[in-house]
Every structure is written in C-alpha cells, then in structure tokens.
Structure 1
Amino acid sequence: MISHLPVRPRHCDAQAMMHATRYYEYFEDAFLDWLGARGGYDRLRQEGADLVVKVSGCEHHSPARLGDVLAVESAPTRIGTTSITMTFTMRRAEDELVAVGTITYVCVRDGRAAPLPAMMLLDEGGHEH
C-alpha cells in the first residue's frame, strides 16, 4: 500500500528540511493506512487487541523538504505469531529514495503479548498472507 503525505512547515527545521524525528510520524500514518485497508485500528481495538512498538529504525538517504509530497510504501517483511515487522519505503514524487524505516509491532491483550488478529494477516485483497 502506498500513502501520499505532504511535508508541512511544522515538520521542518530552520533549513526547511524535515527533522529526523518526524520520519517516524510518517511511518505511523502509513501504517494506519495499511491497517485501515484491513479493517482499521478501531476494529483491532474492538477485537480486544492493541499494538506496541518493540523495535524501530530509519535509514536516511536524501532529505525530505518543505513542500515535498512523499510516497510511503508499507509492506510487512516478517509476520510472526505475536508480532509483525513492517518496512516503510519513502520516496519523493520523482521516485527518489528518501528513507527506509522498519518497525516491529507486538500485539498485546491485557498487557501481555498475544497472537496477531486475523485481520492483520490479510493482504489488500482480503486474502491471507
């Protein structure tokens, strides 16, 4: 799934470049879009589950700048029993690589690790991975 997200003034430093900490906000927005294609965060919560971040990282290739519209592709790269690792590939509209992020989310219920809900195991067409 690809999300298109603009770089806004509040995301930038004095040089009109996106601050390094803001990339994670874009990854999270793209993840919520990915999750939305499978029923959404509300559905996840209705099933009694939630997600917590266990590990995250970002490789910066080219700075995002004020006015850019970033295409962020979200894709699961590892699906375990209780966790899912997502890769977020961020490009500028001209297809220039900006950053690649990875985040591992762990499913929790009642404060403990729990199996991922079936909705997270579906692809965008509704088929199981």
Structure 2
Amino acid sequence: MEKYERLSLCGLYCGGCKNYKENFNCMGCRNEKELVHDCPTRPCCINKGLLHCGECTDFPCNVLNDFYNDGLRHHELAYKNMIMIKEIGLEKWLLEQEEEYTCKCGRKKVWFATKCTDENCHTES
C-alpha cells in the first residue's frame, strides 16, 4: 500500500469515504481514474508533481476556492484538512485521521458519521 494513498490531492482523507475500497470500490484519487474523471484539482496537482494541493505556491487557487466553497460538506472539510496539514504536518495529520476514522472495534467510520459502519457494533466511538 502506498504510504499516502488515503490522502486525496485536494485534502480529503480517503479512509473516511464510504466508497473507499468498499461499495463502489474507489481506490482513492491517486489510483482511481473512472470515479474521479471530473475532479477539477486532480490533473493540476498530478501535472505539477505535487503530493497534494497544499504544496502548490498558488494554494488556494481559484479552482480550489470554487471547489472548497461549492456547498458540499466534504469539499469544505478538504479545505480545513489542507490547512491542518500545513499547520501540523502530513505525518501527524494522517495519524490523527486514522484514529478519528477507526472505531474502537476496529471498523471504519465515515465522514460526518456519528457511529461505526458495523451495525452490530455497540462501542462508544
């Protein structure tokens, strides 16, 4: 597994997405092609050879501003994540995300969820 495969280019934590390696079986924007074909940030970041948009000298550019402010909660979350990555560093952010999106029972939690994805889990997460 690639070290950063759960970090999307725009700042989302793919490990918190309900489709990441489940349901639609998205492989994350670093490896996925079909499900992210219309992403406005992916081609720019890849063409510039950046690990994520926060490394760009133009961050946040007009494309990202439009993306982060389009009314979708997870896009707004991506902006907050990118700011946090710049503040605390990528490694620490990834560790915090892994902890936040893993239930005490070991199962995955998803963005904005208040409980574990396992309906039989009764752990206070």
TM-score by length of 2: 0.24
More strand by share: 1
More helix by share: 2
**Structure label with greater radius of gyration:** 1
